[in-house]
Amino acid sequence: MKRVKKNSKVEPIIDEYIQPIYPPYRLYVCINCSKEDLDSKFEFEDGSSIYYSPSEYNTTEDVLSKVYKIKSNAIVDAYTNYGVRLKGTEDEWAIVIVINNIEAGINNTIAHESFHAAHRILDHCGVTLGEDSTECFAYMVGYIAECCHKTVDKAK
């Protein structure tokens, strides 16, 4: 398994964006955050910690090769948490995108995580990906990717 180096020179950043298509959702983009940074701000509805991966192992490559029999140089450098709320609140409408590595393949990473976030938001609204909804998905992915790029640019 490949190790991925964390950006030790980058201070943790957590930016909040209000998603315009379905306003109850809040989008958080986190750069270089530790488990402690995430645990101090976010939790799942049951009070448990949101998913944290230190990006030390290439689990994406393992899944692609073992499950789908596809060779890949993909690295786990970002992930998306759904159904998150700010710690100690009743608000359950947050999506948290965590980006651990802003160097390698950042454009692909942002596109990938933006799609996951858009899919979750629109699915919650009852919008499924299909021929009639591609425009809606495209605008949502674009908006989320723009938010991610703004936060990444602050970290550079």
Does some domain include residue 78?
Answer: yes
pLDDT in the model for residue 124: 83
* SS percent in the chain: helix, strand, coil, step 5: 35, 20, 45
pLDDT of residue 4: 37
CB atoms within 10 A of CB 129: 14
Residue 6 belongs to a domain: no
List beta partners, residue 13.
31
Give dist(CA 154, CA 156) in Å, integer: 6
Q: How many domains does the chain have?
A: 1
pTM (predicted TM-score): 0.80
- 124: domain range? 13-155
Residue 2: the pLDDT is 34
H or E stretch covering 31: strand 26-31
Distance CA 60, CA 30 (A): 20
Q: What is the pLDDT along the chain (156 residues), one digit of tens a residue?
A: 333 344 456 689 999 998 666 666 789 999 988 889 999 999 988 888 887 776 544 455 555 555 555 555 555 578 888 888 888 887 767 899 998 888 767 888 899 999 999 998 888 888 999 999 999 999 999 999 999 999 999 988
| Residue 87: partners with Cβ closer than 8 Å, 6 or more residues away | 39, 40, 41, 42, 43
> Bridge partners of 16?
28
What pLDDT is attached to residue 41? 93
Residue 93 lies inside a defined structural domain of this protein: yes
Answer whether residue 8 is part of any domain: no
Is residue 5 in some structural domain?
Answer: no
DSSP code per residue over 45-77: TTSPPPP---S-S-HHHHHHHHTS---------
d(CA 9, CA 38): 18
First to last CA, the chain: 27
Q: Residue 7 domain-assigned?
A: no
